[in-house]
Structure 1
Amino acid sequence: MKVTVIADTHMPKMAKELPARLVQELNTTDLIIHAGDWNSIDVLQCLAAYAPVKGVYGNVDSEEIIEQFPEREILHISGHKIGVVHGHGTGKTTEKRALDAFSEDVVEMIIFGHSHIPMVKYVKKILLLNPGSPTDKRKLPYYSFAVLNIDKEIQAELIFYQEKSS
């Protein structure tokens, strides 16, 4: 199963449409996971044209997004348990808040956003993934999102690109 993972789209403020490089992957994806800070329900409608969409809300999302999605979720995909949370809060790093959100659960992977800093790494036996942002790179040189290939194992790849538009 191919899963496209995004976070922090901040649309329409940071982009009026989905970036061309992201759309290229969406055309062949089986599932889309959004780790919060969509901003507008319109993002869900754009993504849903490509594949089923799962996700959570972030700290700047509209009431429509908050009503549609939970703060944290555990997805069961091809026999794997994957936690999804935005990661916002205070007092700790975003990574630590993401780990704490699932401290009472047994998950193989945690997907989070908020920091806009792309990352794939293991903490003990948990694969952590922050896809970065496809529309708001902040001070980083590239926009980013992630692609998961999930079968017996989870393979995660970050996709980096320089242009938001086609």
Structure 2
Amino acid sequence: MKKIAIISDTHNFFDEQMNKIIKICDEVWHAGDFGYSDQIEFLIHNYTVYGVYGNIDGPKIRKRYPKINKFKCENTKILMTHIGGYPKKYKREIKLEIQSYKPDIYICGHSHILKVMYDKNHNVLHINPGAAGREGFHQVRTMVLLKIDGNKIFDLEVVELGKRQNLSQPIN
């Protein structure tokens, strides 16, 4: 069994509040727009992070993470990208990936809008964890936690990290 933290759109920001939550997780899945700062460097080097680069990410992140990431956690197939759309409105490239790879979970970011929904047409759990960073129009910083045991996905939880304007101190 693994406990997973799913984040996106950190835009250079990683604070002690996020760190305390991630410390109790086995893996971090980051759906892009990491940004690059000492705080993001801390995240990448201190945790097991599966990720994809986003539209604001520079060469350091793009060298480390792909545009589309396909991997398994236990017996659960994951497909992740930064910009991909939503059920019935997937980008063409992503729709083809979903149809061919047949993931159990599809994760994207970019919109800064938290959304968890089951796509019954493709039999996939769609997760956009919202934005964990402080840049953007979102009002509340969010992340998603879940557990995976074999091919079972359970204990999915939305974590509100506080209002975007009430920022805690960055790590370091």
Q: Could you tell me the TM-score, scaled by structure 2's length?
A: 0.81
The sequence identity of aligned pairs, in percent, is 28
Change (3 A) 1:99 1:43: farther
Change (3 A) 1:42 1:65: farther
Counterpart code for 2:53: Y
Mapped partners of 2:50, 2:38: distance in 1? 15
In the TM superposition, residue 58 of structure 1 has moved relative to its aligned partner by 0.7
In the TM superposition, residue 19 of structure 1 has moved relative to its aligned partner by 2.8
Change (3 A) 1:42 1:71: farther
What SS class does the counterpart of residue 65 from structure 1 fall into? helix
**Partner of residue 136 from structure 1, selected from 130, 134, 137:** 134
Contact 1:135 1:164 in 2 (8 A): no
What SS class does the counterpart of residue 66 from structure 2 fall into? coil
Mapped partners of 2:45, 2:133: distance in 1? 19
Q: Does 1:20 align with 2:16?
A: yes
Deviation string, structure 1 residues 65-119 (Cα, Å, up to 9, x no partner): 111111001120011001111016xxxxx22238524232111110110000011
Change (3 A) 1:142 1:159: same
Mapped partners of 2:103, 2:125: distance in 1? 9
Partner of 2:102: 106
* Number of aligned residue pairs: 156
Partner of 1:10: 11
Counterpart code for 2:5: T
Counterpart code for 1:70: P
Contact 1:19 1:135 in 2 (8 A): no
Superposed CA RMSD in Å reads 2.1
Mapped partners of 2:75, 2:138: distance in 1? 35
Counterpart code for 1:161: L
Deviation string, structure 1 residues 118-140 (Cα, Å, up to 9, x no partner): 11110112100011111137444
Contact 1:33 1:54 in 2 (8 A): yes
In the TM superposition, residue 46 of structure 1 has moved relative to its aligned partner by 1.4
Change (3 A) 1:23 1:107: same
Contact 1:131 1:144 in 2 (8 A): yes
Structure 1 spans left out of the alignment, 5+ residues: 89-93
Q: Does 1:74 align with 2:67?
A: no
Partner of 1:91: none
**Partner of residue 62 from structure 1, selected from 58, 70, 79:** 58
Structure 2 spans left out of the alignment, 5+ residues: none
Partner of 1:33: 29
